[in-house]
Structure formats: structure tokens, C-alpha cells
Amino acid sequence: MTKNEIELLSNLKILYVEDELDIQNITADVLRSVCKEIVCAENGVEALEQFDTHGDFDLIVTDINMPKMDGITLIKKIREKDSTFPITITTAHTEVHFLQDSIDLGVNGYTLKPIDLKKLMITIAKAADARVLRKQLEKLNASLIQRVKEQTYELNSILDSQDSLIAVSDGNGIHTINKRFLDFLGLSSLDELKEKIGSICNIFIKEDGYYFTNSIDEMCCVSQINLTTNTDMFVKMKNANGIAFIFKLNISIYEYNGKHFILSLSDITTLKSQSDLLQYQANHDSLTNLYNRQYFNGFLKTELNRAIRYNHPFTLAMFDIDHFKNINDTYGHDVGDEVLKSISDLVKNHSRDTDIVARWGGEEFMILLAETSINIAISKIEQFRILIKETKLSSKLTTPVTVSFGITQFLPNDTLIEILKRVDIALYQAKNNGRDQIIQI
Ligand SMILES: [Mg+2]
């Protein structure tokens, strides 16, 4: 016997049917020494009972000529229950006429009596082979399914433990989503998401500065381009309570039966509002809320480059509050600050959307009038001059406050320094000329 046959036999549970008890005992004893389990029956009726009670036999070895129910009837009854169940027969030379019936019933092997035990074992091993293989395969499949289940569970647990909202897409739709994402949307399952929302693109809010699309596929493509250009993607989404949150969107790709995209959304709402505030503070004057000098210089440089390239006009106006030191000395610094704020608000509220107003420093201000020639600018500036003079900037003031303006237009070949120098000289002249006036250079 081969090693495989011995190993196979050691895993078998066999129902052995034999009416002659001395043969049954000897044969069963030998089989027990090599097989996992041997259950004996004395006739077909008993064998059928055992077969149904145990339910986990791998093979039946049966005699043919038996009282109560013979082997042929037993085989027929077993075949009705399980048409492929392995059965081998033991039969005497005198019973050869049964052999044809058993072949017709599809028995898987036979051993002639008197039984050669070694031959019997080889016959059993051959007959059980296919079934044992199939059983092993089923066992393997079951353990594979179990492993897949375990790994899926493990993967879902990992996904659910993440701080980010995570979804996996095959490019068309979402097929995996973590609990945090569902919680954010106030949903309980992916099916509910598909039913109520459809594509997750539908929850992105369309707003300037935030990525928006109707197609996951497009989003995945854009993300790959952004990856090569190092561009961040930001999306805005409302949670179940209608509160908008800002997320940084990362998309990574893996290949398995085609491309899959892992969408990972990190909440940066707090970070974004903090950075917006910091950016505002960095660009604005804290007292007047106008742009500060540094930020204004940036605008001016951009406008200067644009004017040079396209030969478009722009005008720069600088103004200064007349006798501001006297206001501070007479009414105190609080009133001085109030005047600065009131003038800033006045100019800001009466300037055009395209005009840039900034506090240059102290009581000095700048106005950049984009795409505006000096002739148009001068009438606008004159309006400011009169407006400031005629407005009571603080209830504590007893006399009007006036301002002096210097204005200048962009000239070909201007540099930042030259235009700033010119406007400063113009303002200086307005001051020297007696204040409350506009001087253009
Ligand atoms: Mg017999």
C-alpha cells in the first residue's frame, strides 16, 4: 500500500455490513487498525439505520447475501439518498450473479471472499479517493471563505478606526465606505447612501475654492494630475445636521481586477478657519481693517506689471489727515483712532469694487484705482475729499477734519519706487500748499 492510501484510510469512517459475525469481527478489527472509525451492521436494515443515525460515513463496505435486507437492496436504497456515495462490496465466487447487479448500481469496487484484507483496503482507498478529495476541497474552500471573512472584518475595523472619512471606488461607484463617513452623513449603510444620495459627488458643495464634480471617475483622474503637480484638493460637505465641513481629499490607486481608488477625506475645518484668520490678520491693519502696507505693495506690483504689459492706465492716490497730531493732542488718542476708523470706512464704502484702499502707516492712506486714468480718478478723489470734510467723524470733534491728496498716474517705464516717490511728492506739495486739496503729478 502506498503512503497516500494509508493516509487516506486513516481519515475514513466506514460502515461495514456483514451477517457472518466471525468474518465481521476479524475484518472489522483489521480495518479499525488502519481507519479512523468502523461501525458494523449485520444486515441491510441495520445498515440503513446506522447510515441515517451517523450521517457522516465516508464509505460503505457491504456483503451481498444477508438476511432481512440483502446488499443489492441496501445499495439501491443508499443510491436513492446519495447517488454518488462510495460503496464497495464483498462477495463469494458463488454469488457472481450479484456482481452484474452491483455493477449496474454503480458500486465503486469489489473484493472476493474469502477476503484478502490487503486487497480490501486498497479497494476501499480507491473507492473513497474522489469523495475524500472533494471533502478536502470543500474544507479548504470553507476555510478560505472564513479567512476572507476574517480579513474583510479586519480591514473594515481598520477603516472604521481611521479619523478620516474613507470610501473605495472602482471609478464608477462606491463599494466600500467606513463607519465614520456614514456617521458624518447620518446614514447606517452603503445601500442607504446609494438610495438616498446616489453618488458621493452629490454631497460636495459647489463653492469657489473647493473641488466639485459630478463624476467620481473625473475626480480620480484630476487627483492623479494634482498628485504630479503637488496640488491639494479641498472639498466642502454638509453633515447630517446641515453643518458644512472642509476636507482635504487624497486619492490613492490600487490595482485589483482593474483600477480602484481609495478616497480619504481629512477634516481640516478648524485648521482652515484658523489659517483664514491668520491670513486676514497678516494682510489687514488691525485698527481700520483696511489692507496693510505690505499687502497693498503686492497689489501695486501686480497692477504695475499689468499696466506695463497691456499698456493700461491706473492711478495711485495717497492721502494724509491734516493736523492729525492736533486731533490726538486735543481730543485724545481714542478720538484719533475713531477718526482713522471713520475715514477708512468712508473711503472703503464709497470706493469701487476694483479700488484697493490701504492704511500706509500712521495717518497716511493709499488708494489704487485700477484701469483708471488720472482725469477720471481726480473727480473720484475730489468726492472723497469733500465727503471726509463734510462728515462728522466723531461726536467729540468740534471742527471738521480735512485730508490732503497726492495723485499720480502710471507712466510708461515706471517702477514701483518711481511711482511711489511721485505720489509722495504730490502729497507733500498738497500739504505745503495749505492742505485740504489734491495735487497731481
Ligand atoms: Mg452473507
81 and 199 inside one domain: no
pLDDT at 221: 78
Domain with 196 in it: what CATH number? 3.30.450.20
112 and 84 Cβ atoms separated by less than 8 Å: no
Nearest to 130 by CA among 35, 12, 47: 12
Domain's final residue, options 273, 303, 334: 273
| pLDDT value for 209 | 79
Distance (Å, whole) CA 217 – CA 227: 15
Residues 132 and 167 in one domain: no
| CA of residue 64 to ligand 1 center, whole Å | 6
Give 81 Cα–ligand 1 centroid separation in angstroms: 24
CA 73 to ligand 1 centroid distance, Å = 14
Q: Is residue 154 part of a domain?
A: no
Ligand 1 centre and the CA of 46: distance in Å?
14
242: its cell numbers: 446641515
pLDDT confidence of residue 171: 76
* CB < 8 Å & 24+ apart, contacts of 290-298: 290/344, 290/348, 290/357, 290/358, 290/359, 290/365, 291/356, 291/357, 291/358, 291/359, 292/358, 292/359, 293/358, 293/359, 293/360, 293/361, 293/366, 295/358, 296/356, 296/358, 296/360, 296/366, 296/368, 297/416
42 CA → ligand 1 middle, Å: 9
Ligand 1 centroid, distance to 27 Cα (angstroms) = 14
Same-domain pairing of 432 and 294: yes
Looking at the structure, do residues 43 and 128 belong to the same domain, yes or no?
yes
What pLDDT, on a 0 to 100 scale, did the predictor assign at position 40?
Answer: 96
CA of 90 from ligand 1 middle (Å) equals 9
Question: Is residue 143 one of the residues assigned to a domain?
Answer: no
36 C-alpha to ligand 1 centroid (Å): 25
> Ligand 1 centre and the CA of 91: distance in Å?
8
User: Do 440 and 404 contact (CB within 8 A), yes or no?
Assistant: no
Same domain, 257 and 291: no
Number of separate domains in the chain: 3
Closest CA to 292 of 245, 356, 200, 369: 356
Residue 67 CA to ligand 1 centre (angstroms): 8
Domain span at residue 53? 3-137
Q: Are 117 and 61 in contact (CB under 8 A)?
A: no
The pLDDT value recorded for residue 93 is 64
Same domain, 309 and 414: yes
Instruction: Tell me, in angstroms, the distance from the centre of ligand 1 to residue 66's CA.
Output: 5
Distance CA(220)–CA(224), nearest Å, equals 6
| CATH number reported for the structural domain that contains residue 71 in this entry | 3.40.50.2300
| Residue 265: strand pairing partners | 165, 249
Q: From the first residue on, what is the mean pLDDT of each consecutive set of 10 residues in the chain (441 residues)? A: 85 94 93 94 95 93 92 92 90 74 83 89 88 82 86 84 87 86 93 86 85 82 73 87 91 84 89 82 90 93 91 94 94 93 94 93 95 94 95 91 96 92 97 95 93
128 and 188 fall within a common domain: no
Tell me if residue 382 is catalytic: no
Is 186 inside a domain boundary? yes
- The active-site residue out of 363, 382, 390, 418 is 363
- 259 and 314 fall within a common domain: no
